[in-house]
A = this chain, B = another copy of it.
Amino acid sequence: MERHIDAESRGRPEDAGLAGVPEAALTSLLDPAELRAWRAFLTRHARVARRLEGDLIARSNLPLAEYDVLFQLALAEGRRLRMNELADRVLLSRAGMTRLVDRLAADGLVSRAKCASDARGYFAVLTAGGLARLEAARPGHIAAVRRFFLDSYTAPELETLAEFLERSQPLD
């Protein structure tokens, strides 16, 4: 693609504006403590999620979202969940879940079953192969969760952190 370049920049950016206030600063709408907490939340999540995803794919060739679906199904009554419910638990759109289950079904890790009480509905059902795959991936993944996240905290700190993060948000 053709790119238009406006101007040259001399020297390193640190050289500019050292004499005083550089440009009119942004009026601060968040105090530093608020900004710090918010950025820390975003940053920590992005870092942990990336490393975990990389680790899980390298070790078990499973993306985090697929792992999560297998995990939710393994916990569920009858090892099955409606597409809807699954999308809610994994925090994915319904369309996204349809395709995710498509992929898992293509790999034989889940199958679909019609819902007898509602002809519109389907269950995603964990297969034996899916359970085996999950069990194989789980120890390594959990070790990674510890290494990248849980190990940073003592037991009482974890309680506090969980309580903080579980606080409900407005629904509007």
Residues of A within 8 A of B (CB): 1, 3-14, 16-17, 22-23, 26, 29-30, 33-34, 36-38, 40-48, 50-51, 74-82, 91, 102, 105, 111-117, 122-123, 125, 135, 138-139, 142, 145-150, 152-153, 155, 157-162, 164-170
* B residues near A122, Cβ cutoff 8 Å: 5
Minimal beta-carbon separation of A100 from chain B (angstroms): 14
Which of B8, B30, B125 interacts with A145 by CB under 8 Å? B30
Tell me, in angstroms, the Cα distance from A147 to B169 when the chains sit together.
8
Minimal beta-carbon separation of A112 from chain B (angstroms): 5
If A9-B113, A10-B116, A152-B167 touch, whether A17 touches B162 (CB-CB below 8 Å) is no
Query: How many identical subunits does the complex contain?
Result: 2
Assess whether A48 is in contact with B14, with CB atoms less than 8 Å apart: no
Tell me, in angstroms, the Cα distance from A145 to B111 when the chains sit together.
40
Minimal beta-carbon separation of A23 from chain B (angstroms): 6
Q: Which 3 A-B pairs have the closest CB atoms?
A: A40-B165, A37-B162, A16-B78
Assess whether A164 is in contact with B161, with CB atoms less than 8 Å apart: yes
Which of B116, B125, B162 interacts with A33 by CB under 8 Å? B162
